[in-house]
Chains A and B, each alone.
Chain A
Amino acid sequence: MEHARPARAPLGDGARRGERQARVNTGGRRLTMKSGINIVVCVKQVPDTATVRKLRAEDSTIDREDPNSSGVLNELDEYAIEEGLRLKEAHGGEVTILTMGPAKAAETIRKALAMGTDKAVHLMDPALHGSDAVQTSYAMAQTLKKIGFDLVILGSESTDARTGLLAAMLAERLGVPQLSLANKVVVDGSAISIHRVTDYGYDRVESSLPAVVSVVEKTNEPRYPRLKEIMAAKKKPVTTFGIADVEIDPGRIGLAGAYTEVAEFAVAPPRAAGVVVKDEGDGGVKVADFLTSKKFI
């Protein structure tokens, strides 16, 4: 198993960050936070869910250039960003946005920065194209080890692939506690506690930092960027890394080396046209007749 290790090259404001980054390699020991929490929020640009989304015929990957299905910030990530900002406001520190994606994903980074986050890291390399979940988690974990963190926050899933795998995979790869599917997150010093949503209610789960957290929809009310912040976002630092910058082995990423492959895909056939009737005082009875004919009653 791989373990988180401190970064070699701090991004931006050197000394202060270096101090925080050193905390990644704590092996679960309790520490006192001196300079707030170093929070990294992972975000993804996804096709707009209000549009018809497509796979590319040539390699069965999601068409991220389709002008009819423009890329937007995965809406579940907004809850992760908001949670990061709230924790920073309560405890100090900073919030770094991390995304992996093509050049176009820079739009999503700006949106995330406009919500009030401090800076961003964009992992961008043509070799990453077509990476599946196992490979993506490797690339993201390598980047997180490089930039350092106390707390990694993700949305519970992306609205495009909807695998819901990444938080668990990152925790596994980084060797840090997994505090996932949370609808409440509380940090106290170097301890963290969440409410993990379950079918029967919730589990209260605790660990020490560093940790990986995922949050569910409605954990909080994500803020809207204000004009001033939208302007300020344009000046915030964005570091772009290629795979060599974060020591990603090119043999472990990309479509050619993927762990899964799409054998074939097809647009789902439309459902056969049904019967629609106007209510003339007996609409409920007509539905009941239909349900009876289908043996539901």
Chain B
Amino acid sequence: MEILVLVDHVDNEIKKVTLELLTLARSLGSPAAVWAGPGWSEEARTKLAEYGADKVYVADDQAIADHVVAPTAELLAGLVADKAPAAVLIASTGEGKEIAGRLAIKTDSGVLTDAVGLGEGFVAEQPIFGGGVNVRSRVVKGTPIVTVRLNSTVPAAAPAAGAEERVSVALSESARSARVVERVKEEKGARPELAEAEIVVSGGRGVGSGENFAIIERLADSLGAAVGASRAATDEGWYPHQFQVGQTGKTVSPQLYIAVGISGAIQHRAGMQTAKTIVVINKDEKAPIFEIADFGVVGDLHTVTPQLTEEIIKRK
């Protein structure tokens, strides 16, 4: 039973979530990776095979990348028609969901987003309302299309054949109607991406200023973590909006989430309460964030946090 796994790649690099999806697909059938866009290499094939791809469908075509998501959806729709896979798995990123949405319309299939687990019969586990309610749902029409949240599976190697099959897609005029005319890369520094980071350190209103976010960054760097911020902090302009964790920002499910100076409004918890371990530093012992803490310190973040950073560096 073949399961298509769309490879998420940037700058010829395979993103970690792809390995998570392959690991998940292996538990349900025979994973067939789909590479859409330029940059295909033997190195990429080896990596996909290492994580269990029995097959790899390759459409190494610049045009796919030049028209946002519609071409990838067309490619996948063609593969769904030709190969009749049992399901299609895609990373639950903004772009991944858009591809899934277009594919669902093209193949007249149901789509589920933000799954954190997938069981027999492709029943998906979805935390909704910011993790307040857990839903188990399934697709009942067409080919199940499921987007899977980053960090919801631990990737494990399990070598497979990784047999390469070249595929091509004749893009429709409609799929080419939006054109990418420029890609602007902004300096990102060495920190991991927020959505896929294993450890996230976030600061909130208690941090007090943009300058003080250096305290958060130093702690993050001592752990190799990503930096996040509560909406209170991004609204104040202390940290850029794209790092906002919460209901209207990024949803993260890291192994460890350290909330510093964050009270824990329901909208913030909606973006992080599926983290495996939660540590809280806050001076207000009544802050609701303590209710979901595995370990909390009631104290001044301006002294506790630097001490923690120092201690981590010392112990490493």
Contact = CB atoms under 8 A, between A and B. Distances in A.
Contact of B299 (A169, A193, A197, A283): A283
Contact of A53 (B68, B129, B184, B199): B129
B177 to A, nearest CB: 4
A275 B296 contact: yes
Nearest to A156: B94
Given A178-B70, A204-B180, A263 B296 contact: no
Interface in A178-232: 178-181, 193, 195-208, 211, 217-218
Does more than half of chain B's interface fall in helix, strand or loop, or is it mixed?
A: mixed
Contacts, number: 287
A263 B136 contact: yes
A265 B181 contact: no
Does more than half of chain A's interface fall in helix, strand or loop, or is it mixed?
A: mixed
Contacts of A60: 135
B102 to A, nearest CB: 4
A276 interface: yes
B97 A291 contact: no
A235 interface: no
B132 interface: yes
Contacts of A291: 256, 279, 312
Interface in B128-180: 128-142, 172-174, 177-180
A274 interface: yes
B69 to A, nearest CB: 7
A165 B111 contact: yes
B111 A260 contact: yes
Contact of A290 (B137, B279, B298): B279
B91 to A, nearest CB: 11
Given A178-B69, A200-B188, A284-B306, A164 B98 contact: yes
A279 B266 contact: no
A243 interface: no
A215 B292 CA distance: 32
Contact of A207 (B178, B244, B306): B178
Interface residues of B, number: 101
Contact of B101 (A159, A169, A271): A169
A98 B143 CA distance: 30
A151 B242 CA distance: 26
Contact of A163 (B113, B277, B311): B113
Contacts of B110: 132, 134, 258-260
A171 interface: yes
Contacts of B183: 198, 200-201, 203-204
Interface string B68-100: 111001000000000000000000001101111
A181 B94 contact: yes
A166 B97 CA distance: 10
Nearest to A169: B101
Contacts of B296: 274-277
The 10 closest A-B pairs by CB, nearest first: A279-B299, A284-B307, A259-B110, A284-B308, A201-B186, A165-B101, A288-B311, A168-B98, A283-B304, A168-B101
24 contacts: A1-B174, A49-B266, A50-B266, A51-B266, A168-B69, A169-B101, A178-B98, A178-B102, A193-B181, A196-B180, A204-B180, A205-B68, A259-B109, A259-B111, A259-B139, A260-B140, A268-B134, A272-B294, A274-B290, A276-B295, A277-B297, A284-B308, A287-B304, A296-B223
Interface of A: 1, 28, 49-55, 60, 75-76, 132-134, 137, 156, 159-169, 171-173, 175-181, 193, 195-208, 211, 217-218, 258-268, 270-272, 274-279, 282-288, 290-292, 294, 296-297
